[in-house]
Chains A and B, each alone.
Chain A
Amino acid sequence: MSETASRTSPKGDEAIDRHLAREYEAGWVTDIESDTLPPGLDEDVVRFISAKKNEPEWMTEWRLEAYRHWLTMDHPNWAHVHYPKIDFNSISYFSAPRSQADGPKSLDEVDPELLRTYEKLGIPLHEQQMLAGVAVDAVFDSVSVATTFKSKLAEAGVIFCSISEALQEHPELVRQYIGSVVPYRDNYFAALNSAVFSDGSFVYIPKGVRCPMELSTYFRINAQNTGQFERTIIIAEEGSHVSYLEGCTAPQRDENQLHAAVVELVAHKDAKIKYSTVQNWYPGDSEGKGGIYNFVTKRGLCAGERSHISWTQVETGSAITWKYPSVILRGDDSVGEFYSVALARGRQQADTGTKMIHLGKNTKSTIISKGISAVKAENSYRGLVRIAPTADGARNFTQCDSLLIGDQCGAHTFPYIESRNPNATVEHEATTSKVSDDQLFLCRQRGLDPEKAVSMIVNGFCKEVFRELPMEFAVEAGKLLEISLEGAVG
């Protein structure tokens, strides 16, 4: 990965030092000795988390309000995803980072399928160990790179740190923005996240600043242990630009089955935020065991005139994915975009889509969604385009394509259009296609083996979305699809 920077750890370089010696201490717990709470959730647990992180009182109060609200909510029931009911009292909401004693002792104890994938992705051995959760003496060859990035960012006035650190260093900024785009009342998992969020990234781009590099969470070691309830806030002040990369193409294992993240973006006047995700959570073994449930709330607010928010995502992992990156187009002439590739294979279930809420005049949104289902997977796209009476001249274009590989998989498309302004234009196109026998035969006749053939056809299908990804990510994403589709044919 070329010019990318990590989320800086608490207390900067010290944190890196700590990582180097993480046998006795690690992660984001800065001042207090870390320990683990027994499973269960109540107000004391919420208070405990907040206290551990030395948070200001208003933060504790907000978490508690969220928790109380969560208690009044019902667990959602989605038509197209099926999973056993989650017992929230069986989860531990605060766990110290693993020590040498926990987790696999060596790569010999790790699912061989997973290792094979790492090898194919060309991930170096020590990183394989970290991704698989094997405790290692960190060989942190990126320390100097990290420091260079940090000084470059500081020069530009960009804040890029963990939420925990932001709560210590910039509490007023956090207070102003947390919950401003995704209030805790928004949905069941957003409420839960607000009560117990563990950590996440905080990004602030000052007025007129073009962030000098792409910001990435994937800074291998540093991105570990953000826990299952991640919270991310990105603020772009007037006229600023930022491109943020989330995730990692290597399948990540995690003993936490449930992940419920919240991401909030705010773009002020003339600002642009580009948020790219390549998500490859462990989908589970061949029977779906151990797979991650990923329930994410991502939303951007185009607050100012001509602001621009663009979501690009490539989803291949998780046992279950439920995710709707959305944009609220409040500023006049603001632009919202959503480019998505969601691949579901085996027993995976994906229910994804977007919401574009047009409030301002001449606001414009584009949705390009590519769903791929292989083997027995179910892939659903759900998209809402809402045009408020105030949104004169608003325009939306939606294109929703599904590709099926095999006869037993499914694709479902649910477009919802609510237009309450006669001067708005909403266009929707949808296609469903199959990887045809003729296409496969052409490829094979030309010497491509069936797996290469399918991955080439699928990559072609995804082209419009891959084009939106930063170059390096796009290459990795292509490779990732190829690996994910192995065994889907033949």
Chain B
Amino acid sequence: MLKIRNLHVAAEGEAILKGLDLEVAAGEVHAIMGPNGSGKSTLAAVMAGREGYEITEGSIEFLGEDLAGLEPEERAWRGLFLAFQYPVEIPGVTNLEFLRASVDAHRAYRGEEATSAVDFMKLARATSKQLRFDTDFLKRGVNEGFSGGEKKRNELLQMLLLQPKLALLDETDSGLDIDALQIVADGVNTLRSPERAIVMITHYQRLLDHIVPDKVHVLSGGRIVRSGGKELALELERKGYGWLEEAAA
């Protein structure tokens, strides 16, 4: 599903990713861990097509297509979803209208009719309930005045409504309380299926107790320096990243 080869990325002339390789097959769940500033969010942003990053070498292939020539919305329509580390606010635009516009844009791409207001409301309510997210949040401005945890839950709501093929979760667990973590993890697990893949960026082993990954990678200094099974995360928890950085250097 996803093939990243020798990816080099620079922002403002500064190299951030320096030869990154990653392959994710349909049905798999991967976790990416790594020290602060190592380039995890950059990787996610580049995959989603954010401006301001230059791919100086290498390629990203998603569902057999090179992403380089595609606009962010075109990647989204093909099923690539990014849950942001820091979701932004859009004042005055209600969550409900935003979600509906988003869902309808995806439907239009697939040649399906727009949702009816009533049907969509029902769906949005049911999905909110699933995340134990008060339906009042549907009426509020997108992320407007939401707490950190509420913003993360709102990202999940968007993800479940869009049912992406590849979900990139950038520290979706950060800032969640213990109960919320469980709810969010349950939500992500409902998305697991043989046709979909999930890539989670996280700093904490505890998320991986709830969403058990098939593979764990360590990103450091702009490259994947170690990959392994779920036990790698436990090892990191004990030893930190120092030993890997030394090994890589």
Interface residues of A (CB under 8 A from B): 436-439, 441-450, 452, 456-457, 459-464
Contact = CB atoms under 8 A, between A and B. Distances in A.
Nearest to A431: B91
B90 A460 contact: yes
B106 A442 contact: no
A464 B91 CA distance: 11
A198 to B, nearest CB: 40
Nearest to A464: B92
Nearest to B108: A447
A456 B101 contact: yes
A462 B105 contact: no
A452 B71 CA distance: 14
Contacts of A443: 90, 98
Contact of B92 (A436, A441, A462): A462
Contacts of A442: 84, 87-88, 90
Given A441-B72, A447-B162, 8 more contacts: A445-B48, A446-B76, A447-B73, A449-B105, A459-B92, A459-B93, A460-B91, A461-B91
B90 A446 contact: no
Given A439-B90, A442-B87, A447 B102 contact: yes
B105 A439 contact: no
6 tightest A-B CB contacts, nearest first: A460-B92, A460-B93, A447-B105, A444-B72, A446-B102, A463-B92
B50 A441 contact: yes
Contacts of B109: 447
18 contacts: A444-B49, A444-B72, A445-B48, A445-B81, A446-B102, A447-B76, A447-B77, A447-B109, A448-B73, A449-B73, A456-B97, A456-B98, A456-B101, A459-B93, A460-B90, A460-B91, A460-B92, A464-B92
Contacts of B82: 445
Given A445-B76, A445-B82, A449-B73, A457 B88 contact: no
Contacts, number: 73
Contacts of B97: 456
A419 B220 CA distance: 63
Q: Is the interface of A mostly helix, strand, loop or mixed?
A: helix
Contacts of A463: 92
B104 to A, nearest CB: 9
Contacts of B90: 439, 442-443, 456-457, 460
The listed residue with most B CB atoms (<10 A of its CB), out of A449, A456, A457, A462, is A456
Interface in B147-167: 158, 162
Contacts of A438: 88
B54 to A, nearest CB: 16
B51 interface: yes
B39 to A, nearest CB: 18
A463 to B, nearest CB: 4
Contact of A439 (B50, B88, B101): B88
A456 B48 CA distance: 21
B27 interface: no
A464 B141 CA distance: 13
A199 B52 CA distance: 55
Contact of B101 (A436, A445, A448): A448
Contacts of B98: 443, 446, 456
Interface in B25-81: 48-52, 71-73, 76-77, 81
Interface string B102-141: 1001100100000000000000000000000000000001
Contacts of A437: 51-52
Contact of A457 (B71, B93, B105, B158): B93
Contact of A452 (B105, B141, B142): B105
Contacts of B71: 444
Given A442-B84, A457-B93, A462-B92, A448 B51 contact: no
Nearest to B158: A446
Contacts of B73: 444-445, 447-450
The listed residue with most A CB atoms (<10 A of its CB), out of B49, B52, B93, is B93
A437 B84 CA distance: 14
A450 B74 CA distance: 11
Contacts of A449: 73, 105
A273 to B, nearest CB: 27
A174 B113 CA distance: 55
A439 B84 CA distance: 12
A387 B142 CA distance: 39
A86 B91 CA distance: 42
B88 A456 contact: no
A26 to B, nearest CB: 43
A459 B162 CA distance: 23
Given A441-B72, A460-B141, A446 B51 contact: no
A439 B81 CA distance: 16
B20 to A, nearest CB: 21
Contacts of A456: 90, 93, 97-98, 101
B244 to A, nearest CB: 31
A452 B48 CA distance: 18
Nearest to A433: B91
Contact of B162 (A436, A439, A446, A464): A446
Nearest to A438: B88
A437 B81 CA distance: 18
Contacts of B72: 441, 444-445
Contact of A448 (B50, B102, B141, B158): B102
Contact of B88 (A436, A448, A452): A436
A352 to B, nearest CB: 21
A444 B76 contact: yes
Nearest to B106: A447
A433 to B, nearest CB: 8
Contacts of B105: 446-449, 452
A436 B51 CA distance: 12
A446 B49 CA distance: 12
Nearest to A442: B88
A431 to B, nearest CB: 10
Contacts of B93: 456-457, 459-460
B88 A461 contact: no
B179 to A, nearest CB: 26
A103 B244 CA distance: 78
Contacts of A464: 92
B84 A452 contact: no
Nearest to B51: A437
B91 to A, nearest CB: 6
A462 B93 CA distance: 10
A347 B162 CA distance: 40
B74 to A, nearest CB: 9
A463 B98 CA distance: 14
Nearest to B99: A446
A445 B106 CA distance: 11
